[in-house]
Amino acid sequence: MSIDPAPAATLSEAAREIVEVGRFLSVRNFVPATSGNFSRRLDARTAAVTRSGVDKGELVEADILVADIHAPPPKGSSAETPLHLQLYRDRPEAQAVLHTHSVVAALLSNLRLPEGELVLQDFELLKALGDTRTHETAVSIPIFPNDQDIPRLADKVTAMLEKRTDLVAYLIAGHGLYTWGRSMAEARRHVVALEHLLTYELEKMKVRR
């Protein structure tokens, strides 16, 4: 059974959710230093996004900006904000987007970049991703080369999303993880599940050497 998207949020509600998820992910070292960026849809036209250059474990409400999904990012937001806004345009059901920079996501995405994807198969924890209801399946996570040209990268992501309606995440090589959800809770669950699965895949590579 699919999960209904979370309702629209006020800026205060969105800021509280973003501050809380920032602390949650920071203590797990998924967003070291000032890395990562988070957002929460406010309505069909706008989203709340994090300000650039702030430790995500120390966010306060003043660090949350309002962005028009169909306009250039607001001053002070991350250079990667267009990737969030693009996801809200391409995925109307998406209510939250989380971008993390863990060691395992950066390392494994670099190692598996030549394959263009990471295939996760037969894991019980796959049931934590989107509408997956069985471990007897394979979930492909696309891997894109890192690119300072964010609009060009966003175009590549859009092309992939058009082909993959089931997609809930992607990796940027040597950079990190992007995932989203129909609520902030679902997006956070995706981060935790995927970090566990990525760690398993990296450990498996070590064992097989």
- How far is residue 41 from each of residues 5, 94, 109, 160, measured CA to CA in Å? 11, 8, 27, 22
Q: Tell me the C-alpha distance between 52 and 38, whole Å.
A: 10
The DSSP string of 106-161 is HHHHHHTGGGTEEEEES-GGGGGSTT---SSSEEEEEEE---S-HHHHHHHHHHHH
- Tell whether 101 is in a known binding site: yes
- Tell whether 190 is in a known binding site: no
Q: Which residues are annotated as a binding site for Zn(2+)?
A: 99, 101
Binding residue ranges: 99, 101
